[in-house]
């Protein structure tokens, strides 16, 4: 029996006796794992899952906070190890006490992090159980999937007491098949979600954002036919005008399954046969196509059919590429006037997930004069990408390879690859996304460069229509900043973070700072800025005041404008967001205050300064 990381009682119980303990004890301890760690099929990736008809499981779920994971483990009462996933009800005469009862348990809302739902869960990191009932009528030739928008960080799912899947990674969606475990009428689902941080997680122990736990995004049931379209990629060919190319993958496709792709508005359609691997390559011309761009975010209804399955998506078509140090959108040089955004919900705070959250955040970015946003430091909810497609905002999407991961640990690489596959597999048809970012601020050492180089190669093999980037650290010699991190070789576009005027020097240090760039590639300053408490005023040199933050921007923009190959910027950041690293009472109160807008929507002076520069086009080379 394979010992799951989590199953390693020695690790779990921290008991050093494990190795010394008689086998009997070991077996007793391991017994529960069997039931719990029984291998369940791996979840699948679905493209366009939000475009599928679904039965929502959002709403109030019963929840039990279980810091010691007693619902799975008990040293004394191994029989209690018949886990809480069985959702058992106590019966008179039971030989053992049942010490949990979901029907009496308090509720947690789904979607939603648990930290902002209850004061006593604000700092909580550990396992919490979720349970809810649902009714379902199985149909012939129909398969049922549990779609989870995201569950931070590790999660396990059981339906009617049977394990259906487990997942690691808090920011990507996954789908678990329920067909063989559901029955007509009443059913129940139990989930265990654990946001405990571990060294070998992705991201690892330390992040500068709140470790919001729970079923943080939508949960629903999706009914699909026996063979169905799980993933598809449709994009504009870079080489030929108005030629759409890509592929459609049919899960469990009968040999030679016919696939059709049609854009009724353009009278364009094609069909192709799926190969043995279930994939059908498609390519067709759409002469009347209007390209997607920030100015004209044109989206087309695209119908994809295969056998008894069909899905209708809303897709924009554009090309993005580099030419020397230029970034070309639809063949024309572009400057990315951007801002960085965390998935922190405006006003109510907590993990953002709704259309309203996305609308509010991206409307502020548009008000700022942006044509670009950096969604940091993990894949955001699909609602955010749908809104960016609609509103015409270009997107930098990032895999949560953040700071110092265990870059020499192959298991960690596998986790980062899985999250990358899920990010690209789910979000690949959003015209807004032009950049896949592999990482943020990682230490310059060979293991790291190898690790992220591998991810970059994988991203290119998954999607050759977009640009690969990462946010690099910068080194300095005197007042010269140097960008020569070897990781730059693996990237199409170089991102870099600098905090002149905040973590180093004074705002006017920027005036005398030189830059040496060791790459003939487009450059994006992916982070710069400083903190300010909204409403706190004082002199330009008084930290935490709006004047000080604004002064940083006043000196940054002319400095950055001198960098010849600068092709974009995404200052840090649009809105204040929660971070456990920021306790300064009365100023930060566990918020990173580098937002240009407070978490309550109050615009700071720097917002207006940058807005003017963006609207007057005084940043970057004129387009």
Contacts to ligand GCU by CB under 6 A: 208, 377, 440-441, 497, 527, 572, 592, 594
Please give the Cα distance from 121 to 119 (Å, whole number): 5
* Residue 487 near residue 444, CB atoms below 8 Å: yes
- Shortest Å, Cβ 588 to ligand GCU: 10
- Shortest Å, Cβ 440 to ligand GCU: 5
* Residue 191 near residue 215, CB atoms below 8 Å: yes
Taking phi first (over 0 means left), then psi (-120 to 50 degrees means alpha), and beta for anything else, what does residue 246 get?
left
- When the beta carbons of 406 and 498 are compared against ligand GCU, the nearer one is 498
Strands 300-306 and 309-315: antiparallel
- When the beta carbons of 156 and 436 are compared against ligand GCU, the nearer one is 436
- Show the tokens assigned to 471: 């946010």
* Residue 341 near residue 368, CB atoms below 8 Å: no
- When the beta carbons of 152 and 173 are compared against ligand GCU, the nearer one is 152
Please give the Cα distance from 208 to 591 (Å, whole number): 10
Please give the Cα distance from 556 to 597 (Å, whole number): 18
- Shortest Å, Cβ 383 to ligand GCU: 22
- When the beta carbons of 386 and 594 are compared against ligand GCU, the nearer one is 594
- When the beta carbons of 155 and 497 are compared against ligand GCU, the nearer one is 497
- When the beta carbons of 316 and 529 are compared against ligand GCU, the nearer one is 529
- Shortest Å, Cβ 250 to ligand GCU: 40
- Shortest Å, Cβ 414 to ligand GCU: 24
- When the beta carbons of 222 and 376 are compared against ligand GCU, the nearer one is 376
Other CB atoms within 10 Å distance of the CB of residue 295: 8
- Shortest Å, Cβ 503 to ligand GCU: 7
- Shortest Å, Cβ 52 to ligand GCU: 34
- When the beta carbons of 429 and 440 are compared against ligand GCU, the nearer one is 440
- Shortest Å, Cβ 134 to ligand GCU: 38
- When the beta carbons of 235 and 594 are compared against ligand GCU, the nearer one is 594
Q: What is the DSSP annotation of 305-369?
A: EETTEEEEEEE----EEEETTEEEETTEE--EEEEEEESBPTTT-SB--SHHHHHHHHHHHHHTT
> Residue 111, preceding bond cis, omega within 30 degrees?
yes
- When the beta carbons of 9 and 568 are compared against ligand GCU, the nearer one is 568
Q: How far is CA 406 from CA 367, 411, 470, in A?
A: 40, 9, 18
- Shortest Å, Cβ 411 to ligand GCU: 24
- When the beta carbons of 389 and 527 are compared against ligand GCU, the nearer one is 527
Which one, of 422, 368, 382, lies nearest residue 399 by Cα?
Answer: 422
Other CB atoms within 10 Å distance of the CB of residue 609: 18
- Shortest Å, Cβ 497 to ligand GCU: 5
- Shortest Å, Cβ 370 to ligand GCU: 19
* Residue 332 near residue 585, CB atoms below 8 Å: no
- Show the tokens assigned to 76: 């004394």
Task: Give the residue at shortest CB distance from ligand GCU.
Answer: 208
E strand or H helix at 244:
strand 243-251
Contacts of 373 (CB under 8 A, 6+ apart): 338, 339, 340, 341, 362, 365, 388, 393, 394, 395, 396, 570, 574
Which one, of 452, 450, 447, lies nearest residue 469 by Cα?
Answer: 452
- When the beta carbons of 164 and 525 are compared against ligand GCU, the nearer one is 525
For residue 3, the number of C-alpha atoms closer than 13 Å in the C-beta half-sphere is 11
Crossing angle (nearest 10°) for helices 605-615 and 546-561: 30
- When the beta carbons of 325 and 440 are compared against ligand GCU, the nearer one is 440
- Shortest Å, Cβ 454 to ligand GCU: 22
Q: What is the DSSP annotation of 476-519?
A: EETTEEEE--GGGGG-SEEEEE--BTTTBS-GGGGGG-EEEE--
Q: What is the DSSP annotation of 102-153?
A: GGGS-EEEESS-STTT-GGGTT--SEEEEEEEEEE---TTEEEEEEES--BS
- Shortest Å, Cβ 574 to ligand GCU: 12
Give CB contacts under 8 A, 24+ apart, made by 90-96. none
- Shortest Å, Cβ 340 to ligand GCU: 8
- Shortest Å, Cβ 498 to ligand GCU: 9
- When the beta carbons of 9 and 501 are compared against ligand GCU, the nearer one is 501
- When the beta carbons of 344 and 389 are compared against ligand GCU, the nearer one is 344
- Shortest Å, Cβ 421 to ligand GCU: 24
- When the beta carbons of 232 and 378 are compared against ligand GCU, the nearer one is 378
Q: What is the DSSP annotation of 374-387?
A: EEESSPPPHHHHHH
Please give the Cα distance from 75 to 10 (Å, whole number): 12
- Show the tokens assigned to 399: 């895999």
């Amino acid at each position: 029996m394979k010992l799951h990381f989590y199953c390693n009682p020695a690790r779990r119980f921290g008991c050093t006796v494990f190795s010394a303990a008689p086998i009997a004890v070991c077996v007793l301890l391991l017994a529960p794992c069997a039931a719990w760690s029984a291998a369940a099929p791996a979840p699948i990736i679905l493209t366009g899952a939000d475009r599928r008809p679904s039965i929502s499981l959002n709403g109030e779920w019963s929840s039990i906070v279980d810091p010691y994971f007693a619902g799975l483990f008990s040293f004394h009462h191994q029989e209690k190890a018949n886990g809480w996933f069985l959702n058992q009800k106590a019966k008179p005469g039971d030989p053992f006490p049942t010490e949990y009862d979901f029907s009496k348990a308090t509720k947690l809302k789904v979607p939603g992090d648990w930290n902002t739902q209850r004061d006593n869960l604000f700092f909580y990191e550990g396992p919490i159980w979720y349970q809810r009932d649902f009714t379902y009528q199985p149909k012939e030739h129909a398969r049922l999937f549990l779609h989870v928008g995201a569950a931070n960080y590790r999660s396990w799912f059981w339906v009617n007491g049977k394990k259906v899947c487990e997942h690691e990674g808090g920011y990507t969606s996954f789908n678990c098949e329920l067909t063989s475990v559901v029955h007509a009428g009443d059913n129940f689902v139990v989930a265990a979600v654990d946001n405990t941080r571990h060294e070998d997680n992705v991201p690892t122990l330390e992040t500068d954002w709140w470790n919001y736990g729970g079923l943080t995004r939508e949960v629903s049931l999706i009914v699909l036919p026996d063979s169905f379209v799980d993933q598809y990629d449709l994009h504009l060919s870079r080489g030929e005008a108005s030629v759409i190319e890509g592929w459609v993958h049919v899960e469990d496709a009968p040999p030679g399954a016919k696939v059709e792709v049609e854009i009724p508005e353009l009278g364009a359609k094609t069909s192709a046969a799926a190969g043995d691997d279930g994939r059908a390559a498609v390519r067709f011309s759409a002469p009347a196509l209007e390209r997607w761009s920030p100015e004209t975010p044109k989206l087309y209804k695209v119908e994809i059919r295969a056998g008894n399955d069909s899905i209708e998506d809303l897709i924009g078509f554009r090309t993005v590429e580099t030419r020397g140090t230029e970034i070309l959108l639809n063949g024309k040089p572009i400057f990315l006037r951007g801002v960085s955004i965390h998935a922190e919900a405006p006003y109510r705070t907590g993990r953002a997930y709704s259309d309203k959250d996305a609308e509010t955040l991206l409307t502020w970015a548009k008000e700022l004069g942006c044509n670009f946003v950096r969604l940091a430091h993990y894949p955001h909810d699909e609602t955010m990408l749908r809104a960016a497609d609609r509103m015409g905002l270009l997107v930098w999407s990032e895999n949560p390879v953040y700071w110092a991961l265990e870059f020499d640990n192959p298991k960690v690489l596998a986790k980062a690859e899985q999250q990358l596959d899920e990010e690209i597999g789910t979000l690949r048809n959003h015209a807004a996304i032009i950049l896949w970012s592999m990482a943020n601020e990682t230490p310059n050492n060979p293991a790291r460069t190898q690790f992220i180089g591998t991810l970059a190669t994988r991203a290119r093999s998954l999607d050759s229509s977009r640009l690969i980037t990462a946010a690099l650290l910068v080194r300095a010699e005197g007042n010269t900043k140097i960008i020569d991190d070897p990781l730059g070789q693996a990237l199409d576009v170089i991102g870099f973070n600098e905090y002149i005027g905040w973590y180093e020097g004074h705002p006017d240090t920027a005036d005398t700072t030189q830059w040496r760039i060791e790459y003939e590639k487009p450059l994006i300053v992916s982070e710069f800025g400083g903190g300010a408490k909204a409403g706190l005023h004082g002199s330009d040199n008084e930290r935490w005041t709006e004047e000080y933050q604004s002064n940083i921007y006043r000196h940054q923009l002319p400095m950055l404008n001198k960098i010849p190959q600068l092709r974009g910027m995404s200052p840090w950041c649009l809105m204040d967001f929660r971070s456990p690293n920021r306790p300064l009472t009365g100023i930060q109160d566990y918020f990173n205050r580098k937002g240009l807008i407070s978490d309550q929507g109050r615009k700071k002076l720097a917002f207006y300064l940058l807005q003017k520069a963006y609207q007057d086009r005084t940043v970057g080379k004129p387009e």
